[in-house]
Structure formats: C-alpha cells, structure tokens
Amino acid sequence: EPEVTQTPSHQVTQMGQEVILRCVPISNHLYFYWYRQILGQKVEFLVSFYNNEISEKSEIFDDQFSVERPDGSNFTLKIRSTKLEDSAMYFCASSDWTDNQPQHFGDGTRLSIL
Amino acid sequence: QKEVEQDPGPLSVPEGAIVSLNCTYSNSAFQYFMWYRQYSRKGPELLMYTYSSGNKEDGRFTAQVDKSSKYISLFIRDSQPSDSATYLCATRNAGNNRKLIWGLGTSLAVNP
C-alpha cells in the first residue's frame, strides 16, 4: 500500500539553526500538509499546500516557517531560526484532490532543539 | 469552548472486551469525521472516515456520528492486545480548507 515517508526520523539541532524536514507524499496525491504534535498536546495543523502554493496556514506558521515542493516527489518544511518551543513531532500528510478524500500520514520527524 | 474534546484515559480492558471511545465537538460546520490509531513513535494511521451523520462498519470497528448532539464514537469489538494504542478523533469542514482539528487522543491498553 502506498505510504507517506518522512526523513529524518529524528533531528537534533541547536537553537537558532535552520532545519529542513523532508517528506515524500503518496505519488498521485495533490494536497500536502504539515502538522506538529508537542509532547502531551493535541496534533496541530500548520499548513496545507496545493497547486504549488499555500492553501491555508495556521497562526503557528509564521515567517520562520516555509514550505516547498522542490521537485515532483518531495515536500519540505523549513524552519529558519529554530526556537526551543519548536521541539515536537512533525507529521507530513497527503490526500487526493477531491474534497471527500482522507489524509494519510507519515511516521513523523522528531525535532529536538537544544 | 474547545473545538474537539476527548478523554485521554488511559483506558484498560481485558482481551475480547467491547471498547467505546468518544469525542465531542463544538462547531456544527464540521462535516468529515475520522478516527486515527497511533502506535508509539509512529504517525497517525487512518482507521475510519465518515461524512456527516450515520454509522460505518469495517471489520471489528464501527464509527458513529451524531451531528445533532455533536458526538462521535468508535467501537472496537473483540478487542485484541494489538489494538493497544492511542486513538485520535479528528474532524474538518467540507471544501478547500482541509485542516484537521484533533482531539487529544485516548490511550487504550488491551490486556491478554
């Protein structure tokens, strides 16, 4: 069964450094998403991406965050200057373009900011 | 009022028991309702996906949505130790704004 893959599984970064989290969505999906889950808290929506542009973003997704589809298979989340509070699990998801299709998730990248 | 509320548990049941997991939500505009299962150090895995009110069954799993009371449920019949995981409910509006709104998740342990 097709799946969403994320790399790396764990990223340790010094505060203030830039980090790029990578995702390969399911191949025929056209909507892509990033969510995060801080330990012990709810999963939170960050951003959705369709047709090479941001479709929707949350208040969390400020100027420190950006997303990109650099080629036909990858989808990336960049955090420009990481903060301690960025430590979380980051999940990528994808879905088909039709409204009634569910989102499928990768296993996440655990981001630890020191 | 929080958008989606879910009792975090933990819930512990013997093998073979029927498990009932529930969420309530506040926004009557929500149209799609999902249950995801999350094992430790893994991503959310889609279990059930329903539109509007009604029931949906898939093997040992049944999802129910009652939009009049803004209440969603997941039932697991003949529970197995392999069902031990965190169960997350999620919901969203119809249309192009597809962000999922999540419950906190309920931790379930099925004891052999």
Residues of chain B with C-beta less than 8 angstroms from the C-beta of A58: 99
Q: Report how far residue A107's alpha carbon sits from residue A91's, in angstroms, rounded to the nearest whole number.
A: 7
Q: Do B94 and A99 touch (CB under 8 A)?
A: yes
At residue A72, the pLDDT reads 80
Q: How far is B89 from chain A (nearest CA, A)?
A: 10
Q: Report how far residue A13's alpha carbon sits from residue B20's, in angstroms, rounded to the nearest whole number.
A: 41
Nearest residue on chain B to A31, judged by CA atoms?
B98
More confident residue, B37 or B94: B37
Is the per-residue pLDDT at B72 higher than 70? yes
Contact criterion met (CB below 8 Å) for B106 and B86: yes
Phi, psi of B97 (to 5 degrees): -85, 100
At residue A23, the pLDDT reads 97
Secondary structure (DSSP) of A56-86: EE-TT--TTEEEE--SSS-EEEEESS--GGG
Is the per-residue pLDDT at B28 higher than 80? yes
Q: How far is B60 from chain A (nearest CA, A)?
A: 20
Q: Indicate the pLDDT class of residue A100, thresholds 50, 70 and 90.
A: confident
**Quick check: helix, strand or coil at residue A108?**
coil
Is the per-residue pLDDT at B1 higher than 70? no
Tokens (6 digits) for B39: 């094992």
Intra-chain end-to-end CA distance of chain A, in Å: 37
Nearest residue on chain A to B96, judged by CA atoms?
A99
Is the per-residue pLDDT at A101 higher than 70? yes
Phi, psi of A85 (to 5 degrees): -75, -5
At residue B109, the pLDDT reads 97
Q: How far is A68 from chain B (nearest CA, A)?
A: 18
Cis peptide before A2 (omega within 30 of 0): no
CA A25, distance to chain mean position in Å, is: 10
The predicted-structure confidence for A7-42, as pLDDT tens digits, reads as follows: 999 999 999 999 999 999 999 899 999 999 999 999
Q: Do A41 and B102 touch (CB under 8 A)?
A: no
Q: Indicate the pLDDT class of residue B53, thresholds 50, 70 and 90.
A: confident
